[in-house]
Amino acid sequence: MTELFIKNMVCDRCKMVVEQELKRHGLQVNDVHLGLVHLRNDIDKQQRLELAEGLSKLGFELLDDAKSKTVEQIKNSIIQKIHHSDYLDIKVNWSALLADELHQDYKHLSGLFSAVEGITLEQYIIQQKIERVKELLFYDELNLSEISYKLGYSSVAHLSAQFKKVTGQTPSQFKAARSGGSSRRSLDTI
């Protein structure tokens, strides 16, 4: 079985597109996760080059070096927890969670992430949470108190202060301006 690490897979639609591309190249897929694909068989150098080119045209990147793979695993774990979970625990211990999921020392993971991405893990987690808040505000299905609870903030005031610090707007200002629509970012650009 072959493992492939693929950058910019941030949602179920990404998984579907990547799986279609793998099948287009005649590869037998066992399973597809955010950032990780298990193939039933090995692929040769030429297949890998062609797949890398095909994925690149779709906005994905086939990763080869261990550092990039680890950083992508970190990102996917954070995205999965923030964007694809019903509720975040207010006491989520990101260092323990990431160290446990990746079977590596958190200090090493944190240093590697900062070196590769140019921001700290904490800043990345905050950016992801703010993008999720924007999404929830944009669709207007939950009030700010419900969003605060859903994303594990200690209070609405904490969420609002962090939102304003990151975006320069209060959640209410963002919600009022949402018809302009261009202030949300796609997850693969964060």
pLDDT tens string 124-165: 999 999 999 999 998 888 999 999 999 999 999 999 999 999
Share of the chain above pLDDT 70, in %: 93
Structure tokens that stand for 3 in this block: 């493992």
Distance of CA 120 to the CA centre of its chain: 15
Helix (H) or strand (E) holding 115: helix 106-117
Which three-class secondary structure state does DSSP give residue 6? Answer: strand
Report the predicted TM-score, pTM, of the whole model to 2 decimal places: 0.78
- Residue ranges of the domains in the chain? 2-64, 68-189
Q: Do domains 2-64 and 68-189 have the same CATH topology?
A: no
For all residues of the chain together, what is the average pLDDT? 90
| pLDDT greater than 90 at residue 57 | yes
Domain 2-64, CATH = 3.30.70.100
For the cut 70, the answer to whether the pLDDT of residue 180 exceeds it is no
Tokens read off for 37: 């694909």
Cβ-Cβ contacts under 8 Å for 152 (sequence gap 6 or more): 87, 88, 89, 90, 91, 92
CA distance 57 to 61: 9
> What are residue 45's DSSP bridge partners?
none
Q: For 33-43, how does the pLDDT look when each residue is reduced to its tens digit (9 = 90+)?
A: 988 999 998 99
Domain 68-189, what architecture?
A: Orthogonal Bundle (1.10)
